[in-house]
Amino acid sequence: MRLLPFIASAMVTIGLVAVLNTQLSIGPTKSPKLGYFLSPQHGFWKNAEKVNTNFDASIIADELKGNVDVYLDDRLVPHIYADNDQDAYFVQGYLHAKFRLWQMDFQTRVASGRLSEIAGADKLSIDRFFRRLGMVYGAEKTEANINANNPEMKETVDAYTAGVNAFIKQMDPADMPFEFKLMNYAPEKWTPAKTYLFLMFMSYDLTGRSAASDLQLTNTRDFLGYDLFDKLYTNKQDSLDPIIPKGTVYQKPSIVPIKPAIADSAYLHQTNASFTNNESPEAPNKNNGSNNWAVSGSKTKSGRPILASDPHLGLNMPSLWYEVQITTPTHSTYGASFPGSPAVIIGFNDSLAWGVTNAGRDVLDFYEIKFKDSTENEYWYNGKWNTAEKRIEVIKVKDSADLVEQIPMTVWGPTMYDAHYQNPQSKGRNLAIQWTAHNASTGAETFYRLNRAKNYDDYIKAISLWTCPGQNFVLATKSGDIAIKQQGSFVARWERQGDFIMPGDDTTYAWQGMIPGEENPTIKNPERGFVSSANQKPTDPSYPYYLGTASSFPLYRGISVNKHLIGMSNITAQDMQALQTNNDNVFAATARPALMKYVQVDKLSPDAKRMVDEMNNWDLVNSEHSKGITVFEIIWDNVTEAVWGDELAGSPIALTKPDDFVLVDQLLKDSNWSVADDIRTKGKMENLKDQVTLGVENATKKLLALEKENKLEWSLFKATRVMHLTKIPALSRMNLPIGGGKNIINATTEMHGPSWRMIVHLTDEIEAYGLYPGGQSGNPGSVYYDTFIDYWAAGKYYRLLFLAKEKLIQNERTKWHIQFKKSNA
């Protein structure tokens, strides 16, 4: 009889062992292997870091040429002191891996279309999108070019790669980052290709919106017809305050692109009214942009320049950025680095500071092609059938068979959409993609050179290497220079070229050349005493090249920045902090009175009148507790829907909405605007007064619901959050108490905003401040995981320690020492 209990116990034990070593299905996802995940020796418990963790360490590495000292300050920022550059980048790679390994692995998996390997078939749509976009293709070309032609950069990336792999090799599997355990996979060896893939991903994040917007604009034109489209999507911005001041005289263009004679009929007025419905592409946030500016000594209290930079990107944890100081005999540089790439990306050295904002220029186009037959082995180009070589991309899928993509390569580039891959916006077309990011890039060298730059000439030489995505590089030097240049490999376009899908059957619509770098918009030491950019158009219409559709260039942050800078004098670093976190709403300052011209107050319901009063009593500041901004935003959104929602109604796929400035300009100009009429109502002609009043009433319904939920305060309505890359709320910071918003210098929206605030005062001993919304550690179990977020939300800054080794050792904020020693073997 004793045997039966033994057998029963053994069966339960075997079953439990099996369960604990199996990933269980939980809805569309799977659990980790619970036995390993919950193990006290190896599981997630090991990632719970002690509050008083000692980070002192001594590390032996065969790859080093000499010894390297790293001092960690009270914010866990490493200060690297090395006798040569390669050892410094080896250590940077090691530290990136030590504190951000899972993030580095995950982001490059996304970029290379390899999520399905770890997450299964549910992620195939993302993987297919990035494979067909040509992310791996572009990274391969950059790597081949650097390996063949740039031994200095090859040595740099190789040293960084060796550092990453040295950490992976030394890492105890029990200390593997939490997310690897959660998702049940292990890190793989780092390669230089992964660094180039990460840089490709940043190109996509800042220019890849064209991969969706060009298609959507084409379909919007098709749906509305070009004449109405041209009214609602005008490229004229009457209120523009450009990066380069109005009235600047530009040199005669060296390239004058010629518009094809048939473009009006075969391109601008062409329509394709068929619609399909499949999966949508992954589109970067439209608001990916930034602010940067530099003021000369003529406007500062000290008489020395001050530079400010705050790139606006997705708010993620772990953060995109990792703070670091790198000091070698060739340079001493501090700033924000990318985990996955060597050097400092935005920062300063002992001679100058630099920052970047997104240029918004169109560097990606679609061409419609015709295949000979379903094999897609040949396509029609220049009067004959041409061979389409097939690029084979194998997507491995967890718990499923591999998916093999055979991508036809054309004269334009890879065929992104064809019979095997479509989305609602591609509408059954065969579309090849031409993107400057597919060309071999020298962009990594830009930051390598900026880290070592000493003056304006060095800055110009460094950024001349930058190709994609287009960026506005701002500069301030200790010697007193300030400058800004829009740099990238920009297409010399005729007006509207590339705004829509172009015919690809011959060279008629091909790019006719690239704008020479010396003709890119540039200004140095202007009389007004400052330079600035906030993603607006770089120039007024006198610039001789077409810049692209106006929807790529937000207006109002640039107006606000320049308005403040013009009125400032005796500026200090603290004044620049206040400006970076400024919440003034210059858009509403123009739009609110324009709206009120048309509100028929006597026709409003009592609740609507109350909401209008709330909006009118608002101080035009997007502060955390304001209710007026919430009321304004919802009224504005409902008015725009009332005005042109009828024109866009009826489409089975999403269309591009006109920009806010279009409606503001019309409200200020023309009360009889024909677009105001609702084409769905027969026998009635609505005007702007009707539609604005209707919009207010519709908004009131939503506002009353928010009021009932106690969510009228701006921060409660906006609900800014910093999400973990897995989108798990428990690993994220939710509902942050912060103001800001779209069109605001403090451009903080729901999951997007200032990702690295930096102020650099170029005094003899540099005075610098900065922070990002996250923490230096990528481990959710560390106190350094989200250390900076509360300060960031409150608009506070940390003083950055930029010191020589001897002074840093003696500084009270220096906490730990990691010694890297060359092996004696």
User: Could you write out the DSSP letters of every residue in 149-170?
Assistant: H-HHHHHHHHHHHHHHHHHHHH
Q: Which contiguous run of DSSP H or E holds residue 96?
A: helix 85-112
Least confident of 206-215, 433-442, 577-586, 702-711: 206-215
Q: In the prediction, which pLDDT does 16 show?
A: 46
**Residue 624 to residue 744: CA distance in whole angstroms:** 13
Q: Is 151 exposed, middle or buried (0-12, 13-18, 19+ CB in 10 A)?
A: exposed
Q: Has residue 7 got a pLDDT over 90?
A: no
pLDDT bin (cut points 50, 70, 90) of residue 397 is: very high
Q: What is the pLDDT of residues 24-79, one digit of tens each?
A: 554 445 556 545 455 454 445 457 888 899 999 999 999 999 999 999 999 999 99
**Residue 69 to residue 439: CA distance in whole angstroms:** 38
Amino acid at 721: R
The average confidence (pLDDT) of the chain is 92
Amino acid at 619: D
Q: Which contiguous run of DSSP H or E holds residue 810?
A: helix 805-810
DSSP state of 518: G
Q: Has residue 677 got a pLDDT over 90?
A: no
Q: What is the pLDDT of residues 175-194, one digit of tens each?
A: 999 999 999 999 999 999 99
DSSP state of 402: -
SS3 434: strand
- Total residue length of the chain: 825
Write out the E strands in 672-797: 723-724, 752-754, 757-761, 767-771
Q: In the prediction, which pLDDT does 552 show?
A: 87
Q: What is the pLDDT of residues 153-178, one digit of tens each?
A: 999 999 999 999 999 999 999 999 99
Q: Is 238 exposed, middle or buried (0-12, 13-18, 19+ CB in 10 A)?
A: exposed
- Cis peptide preceding 521, ω within 30 of 0: no
Q: Which contiguous run of DSSP H or E holds residue 36?
A: helix 34-37
Least confident of 243-252, 458-467, 684-693, 796-805: 684-693
**Residue 305 to residue 656: CA distance in whole angstroms:** 41
Pair of tokens at residue 114:
């390899």
When comparing pLDDT for 407 and 280, which is higher?
407
Amino acid at 114: R
SS3 223: helix
Q: What is the pLDDT of residues 567-597, one digit of tens each?
A: 999 999 999 999 999 999 999 999 999 999 9
57 contacts: CB under 8 Å, gap ≥ 6: 818, 819
| Cα torsion angle, 758, 286, 540, 468, sign | positive
Q: What is the pLDDT of residues 647-666, one digit of tens each?
A: 999 899 999 999 999 999 99
Q: What is the pLDDT of residues 609-649, one digit of tens each?
A: 999 999 999 999 999 999 999 999 999 999 999 999 989 99
pLDDT, mean of residues 318-323: 97
| Strand bridging mode 502-503 / 68-73 | unpaired
- Give buried/exposed letters for 257-275 (b at 16+ CB in 10 A, else e): bebeeebeeebbebeeeee
**Residue 16 to residue 19: CA distance in whole angstroms:** 5
**Residue 184 to residue 136: CA distance in whole angstroms:** 25
CB 586 within 8 A of CB 592: no
**Residue 825 to residue 823: CA distance in whole angstroms:** 5
Q: Which contiguous run of DSSP H or E holds residue 471?
A: strand 471-477
CA distances for 642 relative to 549, 648, 693, 742, angstroms: 24, 11, 9, 21
| Cα torsion angle, 765, 332, 572, 472, sign | positive
pLDDT bin (cut points 50, 70, 90) of residue 748 is: very high
CB 326 within 8 A of CB 344: yes
End-to-end CA distance of the chain: 64
C-beta atoms surrounding 609 within 10 Å: 16
112 contacts: CB under 8 Å, gap ≥ 6: 130, 135, 136, 139, 194, 197
Q: What are the two backbone dihedrals, phi and then psi, of residue 312, each rounded to the nearest 5 degrees? A: -100, 115
Pair of tokens at residue 540:
């007024």
This model's pTM is above 0.85: yes
CB 322 within 8 A of CB 100: yes
- Give buried/exposed letters for 784-795 (b at 16+ CB in 10 A, else e): bbbbbbeebbeb
667 contacts: CB under 8 Å, gap ≥ 6: 591, 594, 595, 597, 598, 688, 692
**Residue 584 to residue 620: CA distance in whole angstroms:** 6
Listed in sequence order, the DSSP H helices in 493-621 are: 556-566, 573-580, 586-596, 606-616
**Residue 114 to residue 97: CA distance in whole angstroms:** 20
CB 132 within 8 A of CB 421: yes
**Residue 590 to residue 550: CA distance in whole angstroms:** 19
DSSP state of 266: I
Q: Which contiguous run of DSSP H or E holds residue 665?
A: helix 660-669
**Residue 346 to residue 754: CA distance in whole angstroms:** 13
pLDDT, mean of residues 227-251: 94
Domain 586-718 has CATH 1.10.1400: yes
pLDDT bin (cut points 50, 70, 90) of residue 669 is: confident
**Residue 326 to residue 94: CA distance in whole angstroms:** 13
Q: In the prediction, which pLDDT does 280 show?
A: 43
Write out the E strands in 205-342: 289-295, 306-314, 316-317, 322-328, 331-337
Domain ranges (residues) in the chain: 586-718
Q: What percent of the chain has pLDDT over 90?
A: 85
pLDDT bin (cut points 50, 70, 90) of residue 767 is: very high
- Cis peptide preceding 318, ω within 30 of 0: yes
731 contacts: CB under 8 Å, gap ≥ 6: 317, 724, 780
pLDDT bin (cut points 50, 70, 90) of residue 276 is: very low
Q: In the prediction, which pLDDT does 175 show?
A: 92
Rg (alpha carbons) of the chain, rounded to whole number: 28
